[in-house]
Every structure is written in structure tokens, then in C-alpha cells.
Amino acid sequence: MATRKKTQAAQTEAAAEETPKKAASKKPAAKKAAKKKTAAKKVSAKKKTAARRRGADGDELPTVDADAEEEVPERRGKGPHYLVVVESPAKAKTIKKYLGTGYTVKASVGHVKDLPKSKIGVDVEHDFQPEYTVIKGKEKVLNELKKMAKTVDRVFLATDPDREGEAIAWHIKEELGHPDSLRVTFNEITKRAVQDAIAQPRQLNQDNYDSQQTRRILDRLVGYQISPLLWKKIRRGLSAGRVQSVAVRLIVEREAEIKAFQPEEYWTLDALVQGPQGPPPFKAKLSRVDGKRVELKDRATTDGLVAELKDAPFTVAKVDRKERRRNAPAPFITSKLQQEAANRLHFTAKKTMTLAQKLYEGVPLGEEGQTALITYMRTDSTRLSDDAVTQVRDFIGKKFGADYLPAEPMVYKSRKGAQDAHEAIRPTSLEYPPERVRPFFDAMDELDMFRLYELIWNRFVACQMKAAVYDQTSADITAGRATFRASGSTLKFPGYLGVYGAGLTPEEEAAAEKAKAAGEEGAEDAVGELPPLNEGEVLSLDRLLNEQHFTQPPPRFSEATLVKELEERGIGRPSTYAAILSNIQDKKYVEKLESRFRPTDLGQMTNEMLVKHFPHEMDVTFTASMEEKLDQISDGGASWKTVLHDFYGPFKETLEKAEAEMRDVKREEIKTDIACEKCGNPFVIKFGKMGHFLACSNYPDCKNTKDFKRDAEGKIVIVEEETTDEKCEKCTKPMVIKRGRFGRFMACSGYPDCKTSKPISIGVNCPECKVGYLTERRSGRGKIFFGCNRYPECKFAAWDRPLAEQCPQCASPYLLQKFSKRDGAYIACPNKECDYRREVVEQGVPGGAAEAAPASPPPAVA
């Protein structure tokens, strides 16, 4: 259009030059053409500027060209003009669909201002006045927003509906300086929700902003004053945090419990019996002896009871038949979503929240364009809107029938202390069932995002369905002075399980473990049907099964159980859990092995220092009480300055004392009576990147080092290097096994003169390239996987350990050692078209076998 106008203007000018009189007679027309030419140039310039602003995906980014003149954009069209500011470009694209002409939607791309990185940025002498500065790289974003704000009648600040979003909106308002800037919030990005929010704007909430600002200042005071102390005393690059350090403490203390745990022997006795109708036999567990609960502590007691009962008649004394109901779980809150995604999908908390953010902001659904699929994903409330409940009840009635629909809507209580600011996490509309949107996710190659959406959808539908009903049968069987108990249950009515599946939720698993630990009858009820039994019937004994067991230590935390622990103790907020778990791994305080967190030497050392010198700040109850105070500020019940004054006085005294008394681990050398075999000088204990180690005191003249461990009495025992039969390819010296940051590897024993190293084979040839061999490797997040030693030439990788065994069914050159919560350890063929599978026969040992990692897709090796 602009090109056509430019051509018309040029033709008019040419005609005026050829015939001056004619041009003079048409002077008004010439002036009009000249104006068109000027307008065309402006339009063309704007298009070029817009093209320069386009991102890689073609969307306009909220930036301004550095060379562009600072001109106020001209208003186009009639009527009022509005600027809507959101946080992300994806969210801006979705919201733009729902607003008519006159609305411009721009993204701030998160925070635009923050405390400076180069200094503490808080004036503690003047009521903790913060010094906010524009974040580096956000100047262009703000310049663009300022230019747009000069041309509009009103600015709507539509950042996320939480305290963090309130702070972002506050800072944007300060920078834009528009006299008519109002706050709008919505729990879901739907046409109705967005338009209702725009129609009912409000002023910014001072209390929410103060609460967020208090959290930010607290974290800065703790982090920027304790972290330098750790740099000075332990190692550069360390950090301490009001919440993250407490999370590390939980992991360290759990590890201490495990190390201090002493296994105790116990035995179980089961009877394999048959009813009058014959096989198959069923199992009954020993319940009582002489009417009292019995604990079999040793083999002698168990064998004596076996000898006593093997010839005794087994008689059915009592049969109980009853219905058992399993109620539907509540809709997702943030923490429960993270736990279930970890249990069912094997997602990290960080991955779960990243995918949920995208589902909230919107994904492209073909002709419908960018569409938000779930409500706001940071919430602690199980509340659902009346409209949502009405829609899902209608959906359940039509799809599953009236039998699955409760007479009244299901209402769930939120936990004590919940802010209840937003609804539970749910689909924005039931017009987008998983089967309808699956093709769009497939086209984007976003299977994991689809799986998370399907989980949220199923949980929401299930929460408004009837309970599952089981027929449960229990039978007491007497034999001499012993009573055995057999139990079984069958699903009578699936209820919500028809949507959500039979897997236990974290809450149900915790309740089952608690009942089992308390020794409650029925805590280990079997799933399956018992044969028809009647009181007084005599059963035939096939055999008595006596097994030895050992008590197990408390399990290490997984992502799901650590999130659950943090939530139950009131530490932090669910919206921060993903960042906490990522940070403590990035800082190498903990590592994740076989899907469980273990503290590193660095984590244990740092925790020991912090707990000793900052007992109040690192106390779990202190962290939880601080969260309550932040809630009080948000509710208008406390002054943010008072909270900071109450905290900082004692903290400053503790900090000064810690600086004077904390051990200087960096320079610390603990003398030992062990002599260096190379120069005869004594070894000293030092602390380095890999933890504590022995180093020759004659360093740097002698650079000899050794790994060590302590025996039961605390005595130092040198861990000798593991030798191999393999010779170095360069110098022919023996290769030894060493440990590095990514696990074990082979190195030349002639180091440092010879620096040859290579990965360790697991005894399986690479099935892909047929040239290399498979080695145990560790991802950047610390998870073990198995890959070819010829990487990057060969990129074969697998999470499960390959075995050098050919599949007997399809002749696959290797099998996989797998593990699942339901089936335990088993061996299976990697060929998806082959169904070969067998159980793993494990030898019972005190303490049990190590848990294997759950099956997952192979890692993308970069």
C-alpha cells in the first residue's frame, strides 16, 4: 500500500514539472500528493524498524532500535488507546487475541528492576531502603514501553497474579510514569477472564508489594553477607540462602540418620493354604500368637514356631466382608503437581514448572492460534470456580454417565496457612480434551508438555467424580495358638480411577507407610480375590514360608519427597521449590544418584559451618515462621520495616561473631601420623573440590595425594588406587582407577608425567557403532547413564544399565536392567517390538539392595 502511494506521489510531481500552469491550477492536488509521499515514507520507515525488531520466530519483541529517533509514535484511528503490559511474549500473543482494536499488548520479559548485583543495595541504616536499578539488558524493553505509554490513555499492568507479579507491575509503573496506570489480574488466560479483568481494574496492592520486597531484602541480607564469609573460609563460588541452606540441612541430616542406622533382624511367617475347593493356594500372614501381636526376632524362635504349627489344623475362624471406598484426590496445587509429576512422569520440579508456565501462557492450536490451556500454576488453594465445577460435572455426566457423578459437587479444604489467592490448577476449558490437542503437541515435538497437560486434565476431572469402591474380604485362620490373617480386595466400581488410574498419590503412600510402621492390621492388604471361605472350614497347608529380613533406614529424599517435606514444614513457598532444588545441585551441595539426593562433602562441610555459627537463621522453625510473617505483611497485619528490624539486629551480631570464630577450611591442614611414601614427610588433611583428601605436607615440592576414609573408630584408612591389568598406550605403565567430578575413570599410574586417561568399560560392546564399548557416565545434573566411549562420533545412550546378554527371543545383542516401583528390579529387551522380560533374583543382605533409577528416555548427549 505504501509503495502504491509513493508511486502516485512521484507521478504527480513529474506532471507538475512538465506543465507549470497545469500544476499551478492543480496546486491543492499537488500538496495532497506531497503529504501522501511523506506519510508513505513514515510508514515505510516504521515497517523497516519493525522488521529490525522481529525475533527469531517472527514475533515482534518489546525492544527499540538503538539508532531510532526518540519520537512519540502517532496515534492511529479514533477512540481511546490502551497499553497492556504482561510478563512474557507468549502470554502477550495469547491475550492480544481477546482484546479489540485500541489495545497494544507488550511484554516486560520478567523483572525490569532489581537490587544491584555489584553490592548489597540495601541501606540498613535508613530503614532498609532498597536501591533498585534497571536490570542490564532491559533498557531497550523499558524505552519501548515508555514510548508506547506516551501515546495511550491508560496503562493496564497485567503481570502474573502473585506477589512477584505485583512487584514487577510496581516497578513498571514507576518507570513509565503514566498518570493512569492500573493493575489487572486473572487466574486464567481466557477471553472471558481477560475481558472481565480489563473491565474491573484496581490500584496496585501496597501490602503485596511490601511482602515481596521484604522477601527480596531478607534474601539479599542473608545471601550477600553470609556468602562472602563462605568464600573466605571454605571456597569461592559458594552461596547461602535463607531457604536453600535449610533444604540442604534436611538432606544432610537424613544422610546422618542413614549412616547411624543399625539394621535389626526380624522374621516373617506366612502360611500357603488351600480351601476345600482346592488350588490355587493363597497366602495368610502370621498375625497373633496367644491372642497377642508377635515379633519374631531370630531364626530359633521362628523355627520353633514352624515346628509347632506344621502339623496343626488350619481352620477359618472369622470372615469379614465389607466395602472399602477410595476417595478422589483434590485438584492440583503447585506442590502436589510437582510431586505427582515426579512420581508418575519422572519430571524434575524445574521441568514441571517450566512446562506448566508454557501451558498457562498459551500454545499454538492451529487456526485457533495461541491458546492458554491451564489456569495459573502457582497456587496453594484447592478452590474451584462455580463455572469450572458446573462444566466438569456436565462433562462427567455425558462421558461417563450419572453413576460416576456425585449428588453434590466435591469441595476440598486447603491446608492451614494457605494464601488462597487463586484457584487450583485446572484446564481453562473442557473444549480442549487431551485427545483433541495431542496432534498440536506432536507437531511441536512437545510430548512431555502434553503428558503434563494430560495429568492436570485427568486430576481435575477425577476430583469431581465418585469414589472407587472395593469389595474387601479378610479372614482370620487359626492354627494351634497362632492366628493368621488373609486378605484380598477386588475393584467393584472404578469411580475416579477410570480417569486417574490406580497409582497411589503421595498422600496415600504416606498414609500407607504410616499404617504399616504402626503395625495396623490391613496395612498390607493384598490386591486380588480370595477364594470363597466360610467360618469353620478346615484348610489344607501347602507349606510354611519363613523369611529373614532386616529393618531399613529412612529413605533418602527424592524430588517428590523433598518437596513434600518442605511443604509440610512450611519452608519457602511452592513457587520457589523448583529453583531451590536446582540451586543446591548447581552449587554441588547435593548430588542426585539413582533419583535420590545425597549430600556431597562440600554440602556437609558448608552445612556444618552454617548450623554451628548461624543456629537461629538455619533453624527450620525460624524459616517457617518468617514465611508466616511475610503472609502477615501481605495481609496488612505487620509492618515490613518492623519485620526487618527484628531480624537484622540479632543477625548482625551473629554474623560478626561467625566471622571471628568460623574455621578457615581453605587454609586448614590437619596433621596426621601417616608418612608420604614418596618423600617421607607426614600427610595432612585438606579440603578441596572433591572433598577431604590427604596431601603431602611438603607441597609444592611433593604433590602426592591420597583418598581416605575413616573406619568405625574414626581412624584414617587410605583408600588405595584400584589397579587394573591394562597398560597405558603411551608409556606402558599400569592403568589405575581414579575418581573425578563425573565419576570413576582409568588413568595412567605415571601421572603427572603421563596424563593418559580413558573411560571404564561396563563389559558391553556398543550395539550402535559396533566399534566402541559402553561406559558409565554422569549427566550435568549428576544422573548416571550409559554411553559409547567413542562419543561424539557415536551418540548411543541409555538410562538403564545394558547387560552383555543376547535376547533369547529377538537376538538383540544386549538386555537392559530396569527398575519400577510397581515391579521392582527386572531385565527386559530394549527392542520395543519384543516383549521378553524376566525377574531379577536378588540375594537378601542387611540394609537391602540399592534402588535402581526409574526407566526414562535416553538423554540427549550434547
> Catalytic residues, which ones?
376
Beta strands in 115-193 (DSSP E): 122-123, 129-130, 133-134, 154-157, 181-183
Amino acid letter for position 473: T
CA 456, 462, 463, 467 torsion-angle sign: negative
What is the helix (H) or strand (E) element at residue 791, kind and residue range?
Answer: none
R_g of the chain computed on alpha carbons: 34
CA 47, 51, 54, 57 torsion-angle sign: positive
Instruction: Report how far residue 179's alpha carbon sits from residue 64's, in angstroms, rounded to the nearest whole number.
Output: 23
Instruction: Report how far residue 57's alpha carbon sits from residue 852's, in angstroms, rounded to the nearest whole number.
Output: 41
Alpha helices (runs of H) in 549-684, residue ranges in sequence order: 559-569, 574-586, 601-613, 620-634, 640-661
Instruction: Report how far residue 292's alpha carbon sits from residue 38's, in angstroms, rounded to the nearest whole number.
Output: 100
3-class state of residue 270 by DSSP:
strand
Q: CA-based angle 537:538:540, to the nearest 5?
A: 140
Q: Indicate left, alpha or beta for 106 from its phi (over 0: left) and psi (-120 to 50: alpha).
A: beta
Close Cβ partners of 520 (under 8 Å, ≥ 6 residues apart): none
Backbone angles phi, psi at 246, to 5 degrees: -70, -35
Amino acid letter for position 751: Y
82-86 and 154-157 strand pairing:
parallel
Percent helix, strand and coil across the chain, each rounded to 5? 35, 25, 40
Q: Are 803 and 816 in contact (CB under 8 A)?
A: yes
Instruction: Report how far residue 477's alpha carbon sits from residue 491's, in angstroms, rounded to the nearest whole number.
Output: 24
Question: Nearest Cα to 540, choosing from 306, 276, 284, 287?
Answer: 276
For residue 28 the three cell numbers come to 491543492
Question: Nearest Cα to 423, choosing from 453, 463, 386?
Answer: 386
Peptide bond before 808: cis, by omega within 30 degrees of 0? no
For residue 555 the three cell numbers come to 529413605
154-157 and 181-183 strand pairing:
parallel
Instruction: Report how far residue 286's alpha carbon sits from residue 802's, in angstroms, rounded to the nearest whole number.
Output: 40
538-550 and 265-275 strand pairing:
antiparallel
Backbone angles phi, psi at 497, to 5 degrees: -65, -20
Amino acid letter for position 664: D
